[in-house]
Amino acid sequence: MFSLIGGLFLGWALGSNDSGNVFGTAVASRIISYRKAIWLCAIAVVVGAVLQGEAGIHTLSDLTEQTVSTLMIISITSAFSVTVMTFLRMPISTSQALVGSISGVGLATGTMNWATLTKVLICWIATPIGAMLIAVLLYYMIAFIFSRVSMSILTRDKILWSGLIVVGVYGSYSLGANNVANATGIFSGQFEGITDKHLTIIGGLAIAFGVLTFSKRVMLSVGSGIMKLDAFCAFVAVASMAITVNIFAVIGVPVSTSQAIIGSIMGIGILRGAHAIDFTNLRKMTLGWLATPLISLILSAAAYAIFCNK
């Protein structure tokens, strides 16, 4: 049971980092206060984790064989990586941090399930691409609807900004449903009397606690984003991200909300013109995505060599 503390740490780090992807734009645009946003996000995260979080837990628990020691190493090294990136205001992938740590232990022990890892990697690649395609589709669909309805620009923007709160809640639900496996998935079947449903509740609460206590730095960073978004584009971006992440929750593979939101914004950027994209900030985020799993892998492999391989 003591090893579960590492999972709680990871869940906290996940909530503090990834909540910015769902409510960052709304908070930065001042259509909702930071305090209200984090409470809405925290509640929706727990609901999503409990209702749809079990499928992802099954996937991560199959990646490699675990012991009490490796569970502790994986959860702590991945949480450490995410916490460092959060402190640096870099919205990175918690899923990649965790799988990087699992892979480090799996390579060290020779128990890596390569078929499951391949499935996860394919879904990682598909996440930003899928979000981009969904964003383009939503962009044209919503634009078509608005072109057929007579309203002022002010009324349209009020509808969209209000809608951004709705899709923020939906995005938070998707975050909990998809990413609770990152917090507690590796503990599936490890403790007598604790079922996968219990793990979704524990993980959901840990993520919610991270949202409530340490999400402001990344939330404001994402809010300024890689592209200035008007009401229309912000709504499309967050809605596309939420749909994409929820789809992968159903598939049962934890993916990155950061990559989903960036994919959505890139899709909008293609339609609006590449000049609107802040490539400097995009390169910084991309570097974080590449560095995170590598750092986690090295840390977990080193920790295993030091503490377990004696």
The parent domain of residue 267 ranges over 4-307
Whole-angstrom Cα distance, residue 172 to residue 41?
5
What are 218's two structure tokens?
């990344």
- 299: Cβ–Cβ under 8 A, 6 or more apart, which residues? 77, 80, 81, 101, 104
Q: How many domains does the chain have?
A: 1
What are 49's two structure tokens?
């984790």
CB 103 within 8 A of CB 77: no
Query: Smallest Cα–Cα separation from 81: which of 68, 90, 72?
Result: 90
Please give the chain's pLDDT, 310 residues, in tens. Answer: 666 887 898 899 889 888 888 998 888 778 899 999 999 999 999 999 999 999 999 898 889 888 888 988 998 898 888 788 777 777 678 888 899 999 999 999 999 999 999 999 999 999 999 999 999 999 999 999 999 998 898 899 889 989 999 999 999 999 999 999 999 998 898 888 899 999 999 999 999 999 999 898 777 766 555 667 788 988 999 999 999 999 999 999 999 888 898 899 889 988 987 666 777 777 777 787 788 889 999 999 999 999 887 5
CB 296 within 8 A of CB 100: yes
Q: How many other CB atoms are found less than 10 A from the CB of residue 307?
A: 12
- 154: Cβ–Cβ under 8 A, 6 or more apart, which residues? none
CA distances from 74 to 92, 183, 282 (A): 17, 11, 28
Three-state SS sequence of 58-99? HHHHCCCCCCHHHHHHHHHHHHHHHHHHHHCCCCCCHHHHHH
Q: How many other CB atoms are found less than 10 A from the CB of residue 224?
A: 13
Whole-angstrom Cα distance, residue 158 to residue 161?
5
What are 207's two structure tokens?
């993520």
Report the C-alpha dihedral over residues 95, 2, 172, 91, rounded to 10 degrees: -40
CB 11 within 8 A of CB 211: no
Q: How many other CB atoms are found less than 10 A from the CB of residue 153?
A: 8
Whole-angstrom Cα distance, residue 262 to residue 236?
12
Report the alpha-carbon angle 238-242-244, nearest 5.
115
Q: Which helix (H) or strand (E) holds 48?
A: helix 34-52
DSSP 179: H
Whole-angstrom Cα distance, residue 194 to residue 296?
27
